[in-house]
């Protein structure tokens, strides 16, 4: 994979030569001013840097528009305290993630891949390529990377409040209030809309949209993360993958059956995430009774009947906005259509969640 790394480094280095890179691909939402992560004014009175991502943690937010930086392994060792257990965040099939702090005070998350493998190399290169060209307030920002002596590490901005998965299903979780669920759905939808429809390099298909890959601040701002399986999707391309990659329970039927991948596969997966937000159920749970183990199959007839009382998470104890729940249920129903042509685009999903489209 040496040639692949050389190609990757060449592509990333070219970003330094592109004027105004941040301004070209930072899309500004109409409601941006309502978010903690606001657009930076270009006026003379602009602040020295972007506001903190989380109003509680007040961690420094990396500036948009900078290409990813090449770190040395020694720099990342220093930042993470030698990848100490005290800074350990998570571990998965890819490797481990540690918290760190750079000399300028920037708090980071460092993903260290396991020993080199063909699949690991592909995922590493994919993530660097995608995130080098995709910067949005609802997409986790790649600050830099390290390729040194067989080691491969990615450096992200640190998102302080874990994943959506931990808030829905973690052992010591508190009940996730409906207002937080609604805000998370809207934030994640904005991130996916950007990837599909607004990124300057064209459509990016995430291919692994699920609660583990939606990271949260203490303000419940949602950021889409983990782009190891992402791929470019030229307009009209229905490329067939040699093998289906993703997470069971979130795979769109057409992708699982034939390997055909378009952005509508992400829409399906996002519909499953919305169902999880409404019901509090996992996408797949073998501990549930027969007929209820697959969330989408159990929920489809209930969505058709608009059976809100049977679908809504009982832990909410009726503390929710009825119209918002019904809107989210309608989005679920449309997103998990078996035929991808009947699924909405993410811009339409976002407008439905925000109540801009009457259904």
208 is catalytic: yes
Active-site entry in 29, 121, 165, 208 = 208
C-alpha span between 129 and 123 (Å, rounded): 10
| CA 145/CA 125 separation, integer angstroms | 10
Distance of alpha carbon 93 from alpha carbon 114, whole angstroms: 8
CATH architecture of 164-353: Orthogonal Bundle (1.10)
Q: Would you place residue 42 in the very low, low, confident or very high pLDDT band (cuts 50, 70, 90)?
A: very low
What's the Cα-to-Cα distance from 318 to each of 152, 242, 313, 314, 331, rounded to whole Å? Answer: 47, 46, 9, 7, 20
Q: What are phi and psi of 326, to 5 degrees?
A: -65, -40
pLDDT, one tens digit per residue, over 261-309 is 889 999 999 999 999 999 999 999 999 898 899 999 999 999 999 999 9
CATH topology of domain 2-157: Phosphorylase Kinase; domain 1 (3.30.200)
Q: Is the Cβ–Cβ distance between 273 and 165 less than 8 Å?
A: no
Residue span(s) of the chain under CATH 3.30.200.20 come to 2-157
The model's pTM? 0.85
Q: Is the pLDDT of residue 28 over 60?
A: no
Where do you find CATH 1.10.510.10 in the chain? 164-353
Residues in the chain, overall count = 359
Digit-coded pLDDT (tens) for 88-98? 998 877 789 99
pLDDT-derived band at 211 (thresholds 50, 70, 90) equals very high
Note the pLDDT of residue 64. Answer: 82
Q: Tally Cβ neighbours within 10 Å of residue 150.
A: 7
d(CA 359, CA 341): 18
Give me the residue label for tokens 């034939």. 258
Supply the mean pLDDT for the chain.
84
């Amino acid at each position: 994979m040496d040639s692949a790394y050389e190609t990757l480094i060449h592509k990333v280095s070219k970003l330094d030569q592109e004027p105004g890179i941040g301004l070209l691909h930072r899309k500004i939402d109409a409601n941006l001013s309502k978010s903690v992560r606001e657009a930076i004014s270009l006026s003379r009175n602009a602040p020295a840097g972007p506001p903190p991502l989380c109003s509680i943690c007040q961690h420094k937010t990396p500036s948009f528009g900078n290409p990813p930086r090449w770190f040395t392994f020694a720099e990342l060792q220093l930042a993470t305290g030698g990848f100490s257990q005290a800074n350990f965040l998570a571990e998965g099939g890819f490797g481990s993630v540690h918290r760190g702090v750079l000399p300028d005070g920037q708090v980071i998350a460092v993903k260290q891949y396991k020993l080199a493998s063909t699949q690991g190399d592909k995922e590493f290169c994919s993530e660097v390529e995608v995130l080098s060209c995709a910067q949005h307030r609802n997409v986790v920002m790649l600050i830099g990377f390290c390729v040194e002596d067989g080691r491969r590490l990615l450096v992200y901005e640190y998102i302080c409040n874990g994943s959506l998965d931990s808030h829905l299903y973690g052992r010591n979780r508190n009940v996730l209030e409906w207002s937080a669920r609604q805000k998370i759905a809207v934030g994640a939808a904005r991130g996916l809309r950007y990837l599909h429809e607004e990124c300057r390099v064209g459509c990016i298909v995430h291919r692994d949209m699920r609660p583990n890959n939606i990271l949260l601040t203490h303000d419940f701002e949602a950021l889409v993360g983990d782009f190891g399986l992402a791929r470019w999707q030229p307009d009209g391309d229905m490329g067939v993958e040699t093998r289906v990659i993703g997470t069971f329970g979130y795979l769109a039927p057409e992708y699982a059956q034939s390997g055909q991948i378009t952005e509508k596969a992400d829409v399906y997966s996002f519909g499953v995430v919305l169902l999880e937000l409404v019901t509090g159920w996992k996408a797949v749970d073998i501990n549930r009774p027969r007929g209820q183990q697959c969330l989408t199959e159990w929920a489809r007839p209930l969505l058709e009947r608009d059976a809100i009382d049977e679908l809504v998470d009982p832990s909410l104890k009726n503390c929710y906005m009825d119209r918002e729940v019904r809107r989210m249920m309608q989005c679920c129903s449309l997103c998990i259509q078996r035929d991808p042509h009947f699924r909405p685009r993410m811009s339409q999903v976002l407008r439905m969640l925000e109540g801009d489209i009457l259904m």
